[in-house]
Amino acid sequence: MKKNHMWIGAGVIVVVIALACLSSYNSIVRLDQAVTAAWAQVETDYQRRSDLVPNLVATVKGAIGFETKTLLEVTQARANATSIKLTTSQLTAENISSYEDAQAKLGGSLGRLIAIAENYPTLTATESFRGLQTQLEGTENRIAVSRKDFNSAVEEYNATIKTFPNALLAPMYGFAPRAYFESGAGSETAPEVAF
């Protein structure tokens, strides 16, 4: 009779451990999927911005004497930004940095394009240019929110796989920490504004 109780007790312990491992695995998978969904939203918002570029370039091309170099720069930056595709398994700090660098170059060239366009009052007065400018501003806000949401999802995922008992189990399941979006170089210094 004592042997039966021992086997039952051992069986209960094995079942409890198995259920804990299964629960741990399921929670990590859920958080991994949240990171994947947040990354997809980041890519969608950056793609939205990239999709606006051809319309903006076409609108600006109509301005007499507009700087072709600036238009070429925007077009090339867009091509570079859209050429980088990352899956969630490729979200290392280096890959995210490369992705962000390409996106920052596109953002910078768009900023220069808008600034130069301000010298053409007939262009900036057109409804299509103003509409595209408004859409770009809204898209930049969406990108900021998406990046924040992505970092929040990564934070929760990383915290979960680094805490006990998940820290023991996550490597066995093949889960590794994810990288965050980080501020670009020089972003800690506020830009100087002179009037």
- The pLDDT of residue 29 is 95
- The pLDDT of residue 157 is 98
- The pLDDT of residue 8 is 81
Q: What is the mean pLDDT of each run of 10 residues along the chain (195 residues)?
A: 76 82 91 97 95 89 72 92 92 93 93 86 84 92 96 97 93 94 61 38
- The pLDDT of residue 101 is 94
- The pLDDT of residue 65 is 60
Q: Residue 128: which of 58, 36, 77, 72 has the closest Cα?
A: 58
- The pLDDT of residue 80 is 94
- The pLDDT of residue 31 is 97
The rounded distance, in Å, linking the Cα atoms of 95 and 139 is 23
The rounded distance, in Å, linking the Cα atoms of 96 and 92 is 6
- The pLDDT of residue 191 is 43
φ and ψ of 185, to 5 deg:
-60, 135
The rounded distance, in Å, linking the Cα atoms of 181 and 35 is 12
- The pLDDT of residue 60 is 84
**In this structure, which topology does domain 2-173 adopt according to CATH?**
de novo design (two linked rop proteins) (1.20.1440)
Largest Cα–Cα separation, the chain: 97
What are the extents of the domains in the chain? 2-173
